[in-house]
Structure 1
Amino acid sequence: MERRSAETALIPALQVLSYLFIALGALFMAFKAGSLPASRWEPMSAGTFPQIIFFSIAILCGMAVIFELSKHGLPRTTFCIAWRRLTALKAVIINLVLFTVYMIAMPIAGFIISTFVYLLTTQLYLAPRKATTVVLAIFVAILFSAGPYYLFSEAFNIYLPRAQW
């Protein structure tokens, strides 16, 4: 195995961490899909197909972790280099945290409110803070939170989560 610097050793480490994160998310979603209601007349429940997909994703990510570790070995890097690279991904990490909070808040706050807050906060975080961008961010958040809700409820008769209060 070739000798690599601490900077180049970080790339396979981040790949392994991303595979593990995706695998854990897929396993979580597979177990959540298993709680979907079953039909009396169908041999499989509504969650069977999503469970197959999510378990397949988890297995593929597990295989990718094994392949990366066998190919590159355990990553060796310094904390300073890892921290510098992690802070370079600050916008991605903040958006991931905001999306996670959004998904947790949706069953409680409902689709419209949680989507509006998520879209507004992510746009205000990413966009330059000018009066026009704030007005545009509010308009886009209203449009893409209320629009899909009414489209799904009126056109498709599919009701997205409503607020629990």
Structure 2
Amino acid sequence: MIKTAFALSFALSTCMVLPALGAEQFQCPLPSNPNDPAKLEQIRGLLPDVNTMKNIERLNATIATLRRDGVSKSLMIDHLVGAYCLMVVREAPLTEAEKAALVRRFTGQVTRLVYSLESGLDIIINVPLTPDVVDAVNSVAEKQGLSGPAWIAMTIDDALQQQRTTSPPELPAGFSSSC
């Protein structure tokens, strides 16, 4: 379980927008589901401009719209960051480092908003972890601009999404698949 969590964190951290050392031109990451350009355009239309982080109400409304449309949390973040990044690239007066910093901050903010408690119906689970595991979680989360709990929630959600797409759903005990 922990190996899976760290593998997921590594995969997520490699997708973060960080310019390579010595890189001359800022580039946006490719969305994990690039075959839906219409969705990316729709999301870009929902974001006001590169200053969208200052308009938290608009960003929350965009996230609420995507939730109503049934977009998974991981795709929501992926598409929001992809759309925002394309807007940042067009900002000519910004340096490459400033563009990367804007996208990193936006990624952290969007992830926190998407994974924040959505209602009073969410369940909080207390899981004992050793101090070294907590330190590792907090370190990885901080690199992604997240709190430890937000990173854990995101990692679990991503693992469940991946499991749903790779294996058939399990039936509860006592149920059979025959009619």
TM-score (norm 2): 0.21
Mark the structure with the bigger radius of gyration: 1
Q: Which has the higher contact order (CA 8 A, sep 6+)?
A: 2
Name the structure with the higher helix share. Answer: 1
Question: Structure 1 length normalisation: TM-score?
Answer: 0.22
